[in-house]
Structure 1
Amino acid sequence: MGGLSRMWRVGMALLPVVAVAVLGVTPPALAAPAPAIVVSDGVTQPVFGYADAIRERLFIDSTFDSDLDGLRDIIAFDLMRPKATADGLKVPVIMDASPYYSTVCRGNESECKADLDGDGLLDRWPLFYDNYFVPRGYAVILLDMVGTNNSTGCPTTNANQDNLSAKQAINWLNGRATARNAAGQVVEADWHNGRTGMIGKSYDGSLAMATAVTGVRGLTTVVPISGPSEYYDYVRSNGLITRGNNYVASLANTVTNPERRDYCKPVRDAMSAADGDETGDYSAFWNERSYVKKVDKVTASVLLYHGLNDDNVRPDHFSKFWYALAEHDVPRKLWLSQEGHVDPFDSRRTVWVNTLHRWFDFWLHQVQNGIMEEPRVDLERSADVWETHADWPLPDKVDTEVFLQPGTGGAGGLKLVPVVKPTTVRLADDPAQSQNTMILNPDTVQPSRLAFLSVPLRTPLHVSGTPVVKLRAGADKTDTNFGAILVDYGTAERVAHRMPGEGIITLESQDCWGQTSPTDDGCYKQTQKRVATADLELVTKGILDAQNRQSIRTPTPLVPGQLYNFDFPLLPEDYVFQAGHRIGVIIVGSYPQYSSQADPNRATIDVALKTSHIVLPIVGGTPAAHAAGL
C-alpha cells in the first residue's frame, strides 16, 4: 500500500508542471469536419458542386482479346465525382456502360460524348445522371463497351467480351484491377464506398444485366431499361428469324467507330459464320448471349422497366428475366408502360427521376426510405393512368383454357368465322399476307387466316401474363410456320405506340434536371403521350417454326398429313378488354411482319378444332371468363 501511495503522490506532484506546459502552448485549430452527404426529406440533397466536379478519363486492361491481335483489349471510361471526394468523401458509382457514345448516341435527343477543347476530358456528358446525381454525392461513370469510342478491340454483340466490359471497371473500383490515365499513371478509387449501380436503355440495359449475371462483387443494383435479356429472342422467335440475316454482325458494325469498321470485319465475319441463320435454331452462339439462364448468379437488386408495346426489344425480354428473378428471390421492382421503345425519362419523367433517386439512395447510400416496402409493380393502364400492384403477373391471375370452337359451337369460347361446324378447318399459308389483312374485317372469311371471335363481352376481362396458343394441326409439307394474334375488337382511345414516336410526342419546351456547367446544362425536351382512337388493338402475338415444335435447338420435320401438337407463347401482356368489345384470336401460317424468314413451302394446314385452344392468364380465372361471356 505504501508503494501505491508514493505513486499517487508523484503523479500529483507532476500535475502542476504538466498544466503549465499545456497552458503555455497555443492549441491547434479544430479540424474541419469530413465532407458528408446530406439527407433531408428522405433523399440525398444537392450539396456538392457540378461545375467543379472532378472529371477523369481512365483505361483498364481487360481479361480478353476480342480482335485477336494478341493484346488484351483496353476498356475506357469517363468518370465524374464530387470535388469533396479529394477531401475524404466516400461515394458510390452510377454507371451506364454503352456501345453508343460516339455513333448512335444516347437519349431522346441523341446526345454523344463530346470533348470540346481537346484536353482528353468530356465537356458534354450524355443523359442527366451526371447533372442530377453528382451534386447529391454520387460518382458517374460512362463506360465505352469494348471496340467502341475510346476502348480498343471489336464489338461482339452481347458475347462474352461485350458482357465483361463493365465488370473491369467494377473490379477497379473495388481494388481488383488497375486503371491508368492518359499519361500512364496508376489511379486508385480510394474515394469509392464499395457500392455500384448500373443503368441503361436497350443495349446499355443488356450490359447492365450482363454484368449482374457475372455475380461480380461490388455491383449492388441494376436498372435495365428495355434491354434484351435473351439475345436469341431479339433476332429469333421459336425457330424463326425476325430481323434478317447476319443482324448480329450488322449491329456490331453500326456501333463500331467508322475508321475501325474495316479492321473489325474479320470479327463480324466470324459471327456471321456462327449465327446459324440457315436454320434459325438455338445454339451455343446464342447461349453465350443469354442472361436469363444465368440469373442464379445475380447478387444485385433489380429495378426493371419495359414498354408493353415495345416492338424493338419485345416484352418477352422483360418477362423471362422477371420470372427468373422471382424464381431466385432477387430483390426487385418492375415498371410496365404502354409505350414502345421509350425511356421512362421521356414518358413519366418526374415520377421516374424521383423513384430512381430513392432507389439509388436506398441501395447505394443505404438511406432507409422505405422504397422496398412499397408495391412491387407500377403499371400504366392507359395514357398516363398508372396503377400499383403487389406483383406481376397479378397474383390472382389464373391460366384459363379458352377453346377455339366451330362457328356453331356451344356457349362460351371463341367461335370460328364462318358459322359452320367442321371437325377440322383448312388454312392456306400465304407468306405475302400483310398483318392488316390478317386482323381487319374479322367477320369476313379469308383462305389464309382463321378468325375466332368472342361475343361482345358482358364485363371487362383482364389478362396478366403470357398467353399460350395450343394447336392440334398438320400440314401437307415437311415444314410450315404458325402465327397467332390476340386482338381487341372495340373502339377506344389508346396510346399510339407505333411509329412515329412509339407513343410519345417530343415538344420544343424543356425542363432541367440537376446542376449545370458552361458546356452541359442538363436540360431536355419535354414530351407528351401520343394517343389515338381506333376500332381495334393488336394486343399480342407469337410465331413458331413447325419443325421446332419440340425444341428450338433441334428441328424435326413433319410427316405430311399427320397431326401434331403445336404449343407456343405469345408475347406477355397486361391488358383489359372492355365490356362490349370482342376478343379475337387470329391463326395464320407465315407472319411476314413478325418473321423475316418467309416460309417457301406454302403449305396447306389443317387445324383440329376439338382440342385447339388458347390459354389466357385471366385475372379471376374461369369465373371471370364466364362472367364476361367466354
Structure 2
Amino acid sequence: MAHRASSRPEHGVVVALDLMVPMRDGVRLATDVYLPAAGGSALPGPFPTLLIRTPYDKRGQETAVKMGEYFARRGYVVAIQDCRGRYRSEGSFTFLVQEPEDGYDTVAWLTQQPWCNGKVGTLGTSYLAWVQNALACLNPPGLAAMYVNQGGASAYHSSVRHNGAFELRFMAWAFMGAATSPEAMADPTIQAALTSTRFRDWLARLPLRPGLSPLSLVPAYERWMFDIWTRGDYDEYWEQPGFNFLAHVDRHADVPMLFCGGWYDSYTRSTLENFVAFSRRKRGPVRAIVGPWTHGTETPDLTYAGDIELGPAASIAGNLAEDVYDHHLRFFDWWLKGLDTGMAEEPPLRIFVMGGGDGHRTPQGRLYHGGAWREEREWPLARAIETPFYLQPGGGLAPRPPEADEASTSFRFDPADPVPTVGGNISSLADFYPVPPEIAARVRLEERWASIVAVGGQNQRTSAAIFGARPPYLPLASRPDVLVFQTEPLAEPVEVTGPITAVLWVSSSAPDTDITVKLVDVYPPNPDYPEGYALNLSDSIFRLRYHAGWDRPQALEPGQIYRIEIPMYPTSNLFGAGHRIRVDISSSNFPRFDVNPNTGEPLGRHTRTQVAINTIHHDRAHPSHLLLPLVPR
C-alpha cells in the first residue's frame, strides 16, 4: 500500500447551508458548501472545488456529508447539491433527464465563486455517478476531473433496461423517490400512504396500471416510471445525454476520469463500457478499477460480496489506499492540486481476479472464494482467448462442437411461477420496512429502505428468506424450467476474464418470451458444504421480440429457430481444479427483471399471461454456446 503523501487534514470546516443556485430556466437548486476554515471562519481561498449532486438528501446522506467534511479539512471546497425536485431544491424531478443541463449550470456557477480556483472535480456513486457523466456530456468549462463510482453508460442496454427487459429495481426506486419527494413531505397523508406501502406486495400485482397504485399520489414519479418501463424499443428517448453517455462520447468533456466498479455491482458492464469508450477517444487519462464488490460508496472497503469472502486483499482499504476516501483524495490531489500522489504511475486498469480459495466456511458464515489484484493495460485483455463452450446433449458443456444432427432441450415457462432471484448484480431493489411505532419518529425514511433480495455471490438454492421462493427449498437447478449445462470437473484451474456472450439458437411456442443465462462456478462437496456450492458469477436476459434489433420488435413465429447473442455482465474468475463451469438457462429471474407474459402485448400493459414451451437447440446446425474469454496461465 506504499504511496506518496496526500493533502493532510489541516483545516477546520464551516458549512454554508442551502445556497440556492440558479439554473437556466430560473429553478434554484439547494446546495450546501463545505469550506476550509480556521478559527470558525471560512478561509478566503481560492481552492479547488468538488461537486456532489444527489437525489438522496444532501444533508441526510451520510457518505456525502462525510466526503464534504473529509475534503474540506484537506483544502477543498465541496458543494453538495439536492437534484432538481428533491428535498430542498425547487422544480420537478424527472429521472435522469434534467441532469446534464442542471449539472452544467452548477459547474458554471461554482467557477464564478470567489472561493473556487476555477477547477471543479466531480464524485459520487450510483445516481451520483450518472449525473457526473450527464453534465460532462455538455462539456462545461472548469470541469477538471471525475471519479465515477459505479454508474451507468447506456440506460437502455444494461442498467435501467437490460437487453429488452426492465430492471424492476427502478420501479422500487420510483416508490422510494415518491415517498421522499417534496410533494409527499408537504402532505402527511400522501407520505403516510407511500411509506406504509410494501413494494414487495405490488410485485405480486404486476403490471401496475396508471392511477391505480400508491405511486399515482405523486403523478410526476408515476409518469417517468411508466416511461422507462413501457418504452421497450430503442429510440431517441434513450439517446438523451442523461441516459446514454456512449452516444455522446465525442462531445463529452476530455478530462481525467477514473471509473470504479465491482464484479457484483449493478453497473459492472457500464463501468467497463465507459472505460473502453472514453479511453479510446479521449486523452484523459482514463482509468478503471474493478474489484469484487457489490454496490455502494463504501463497499470497496469490504472483503466480501454477498455470501462469499474474497480475502484481505480484496478491499481498497489497506491495499490500494488507506480507504475509499483516501483513494479519492489521491486522485483529486493529483489532478486538481498537482501533488505527486503516485497516481501517475497507476496502470490504466486494475482488476481483482476472483477465485483460488479453498471453499471453506469462514467464521462469518461465508464461502472463502479468495482472489488477487492484477494490473492490466486494456479491456478486453489482448491475451484472452475467446473460447466457445458448447451446450451438449445430456447437459454437458465442452469446447468441442456438438456432433448430433438434431438435438434440443425444451422447458415449460409459466409466468405465474418465475425463477426467483438468488444473488447477482443488483442494487436498489428495496422496500420500506416497518419500524416499531415508539421509534418511528426518530428513524429517517431512507434508513428504513432495505433490499428485498440477496445480492452478490450466493449459493444458487432457495430458502424461506428468498423472495418468491416456495417450498420445497431446493437448488434452482432442480426446477424443471432451469436447464443446466456443465463441464466435467476441471483437471486444472481455468481463468475467465472479460466480456461474456451467450450465442443461442432458440424457438418458442409463444409470440414473445425471455431467455436468461447465468454463469456459475460449481464447487465440489467439502465438509462445510456437503452438497457443494454453486456460485453465480454473471447473468443476463434477452427479450426475444427484439431478435431483429432493439428498435425493431417482431413477434416470434411459433417453432421457428432464431439465433440470438446475449451480452452478459463481464467477470474475472479463476475456476479451481475440481470445479465445474456451468451455465443455467431459463426464462425468468424475478424480481431482478420483469416477467415476460409471453403474449406479445405492449410492454408493461399486458392483460393476460400464457405458458410458453421454450426450446434451446444444440446440434451441429445450431451450435449454442457460451463464449468465454480464457486467460492463459
Tell me whether the two structures share a fold, i.e. TM-score over 0.5.
Answer: yes
Kept in 2, the 8 Å contact 1:103–1:254? The answer is: no
1:293 — aligned with what? 247
Kept in 2, the 8 Å contact 1:470–1:614? The answer is: yes
Residue 76 (structure 1) shift: 1.9
Q: TM-score, normalised by structure 2?
A: 0.71
1:199 — aligned with what? 123
Q: Among residues 1, 19, 22, which one is paired with 1:61 in the alignment?
A: 22
1:236 — aligned with what? 161
C-alpha distance in structure 1 between counterparts of 2:397 and 2:391, whole Å: 11
C-alpha distance in structure 2 between counterparts of 1:60 and 1:532, whole Å: 60
2:273 — aligned with what? 320
Amino acid at match of 1:356: H
Kept in 1, the 8 Å contact 2:87–2:181? The answer is: yes
Amino acid at match of 1:267: A
Identity %: 23
Q: How does 1:97-496 map to 2 (within 5 A)?
A: 97-101=53-57, 105-107=61-63, 126-159=64-97, 161-175=98-112, 189-232=113-156, 233-243=158-168, 249-250=174-175, 252-257=177-182, 258-260=184-186, 265-272=218-225, 274-277=227-230, 280-288=232-240, 289-296=243-250, 297-310=252-265, 313-329=266-282, 330-344=284-298, 346-347=301-302, 348-349=316-317, 350-382=322-354, 385-407=372-394, 412-413=399-400, 422-431=406-415, 432-435=417-420, 447-491=480-524
Change (3 A) 1:291 1:492: farther
1:603 — aligned with what? 612
Deviates more, 1:459-468 or 1:441-450: 441-450
Change (3 A) 1:194 1:604: same
Residue 446 (structure 1) shift: 5.8
- Residues 184-235 of structure 1, C-alpha deviation per residue, up to 9 Å, x if partnerless? xxxxx12322111111111111112212222111111111222233333333
Can you give the 5+ residue segments of structure 2 that lack an aligned partner in the other structure?
191-215, 303-315, 355-369, 423-458, 462-473, 598-608
1:31 — aligned with what? none
What SS does structure 2 have at the residue aligned with 1:601?
coil
Residue 598 (structure 1) shift: 3.4
What SS does structure 2 have at the residue aligned with 1:570?
strand
C-alpha distance in structure 1 between counterparts of 2:17 and 2:479, whole Å: 64
How many residue pairs align between the two structures? 498
Residue 285 (structure 1) shift: 3.3
Say which one has the larger Rg.
1
Change (3 A) 1:593 1:211: same
Kept in 1, the 8 Å contact 2:348–2:377? The answer is: yes
Kept in 2, the 8 Å contact 1:401–1:615? The answer is: yes
Change (3 A) 1:483 1:307: same
2:576 — aligned with what? 578
Residue 601 (structure 1) shift: 3.4
Kept in 1, the 8 Å contact 2:100–2:136? The answer is: no
What SS does structure 2 have at the residue aligned with 1:372?
helix
Change (3 A) 1:361 1:456: same
Change (3 A) 1:94 1:563: same
The CA RMSD measured in Å over matched residues stands at 3.5
Can you give the 5+ residue segments of structure 1 that lack an aligned partner in the other structure?
1-39, 65-71, 108-125, 176-188, 494-530, 625-630
- Residues 536-580 of structure 1, C-alpha deviation per residue, up to 9 Å, x if partnerless? 201111111111122222211111111111111111111111111
Amino acid at match of 1:92: P
C-alpha distance in structure 1 between counterparts of 2:349 and 2:525, whole Å: 25
Kept in 2, the 8 Å contact 1:392–1:464? The answer is: no
2:49 — aligned with what? 93
C-alpha distance in structure 1 between counterparts of 2:162 and 2:530, whole Å: 30
Change (3 A) 1:228 1:409: closer
- Residues 25-78 of structure 1, C-alpha deviation per residue, up to 9 Å, x if partnerless? xxxxxxxxxxxxxxx95433333x214x463542222123xxxxxxx2111211
Change (3 A) 1:544 1:274: same
Q: TM-score, normalised by structure 1?
A: 0.71
Amino acid at match of 2:141: R
C-alpha distance in structure 2 between counterparts of 1:54 and 1:201, whole Å: 22
Deviates more, 1:476-485 or 1:341-350: 341-350
1:524 — aligned with what? none
What SS does structure 2 have at the residue aligned with 1:274?
helix
Kept in 2, the 8 Å contact 1:430–1:590? The answer is: no
Change (3 A) 1:602 1:54: closer
Residue 357 (structure 1) shift: 1.8
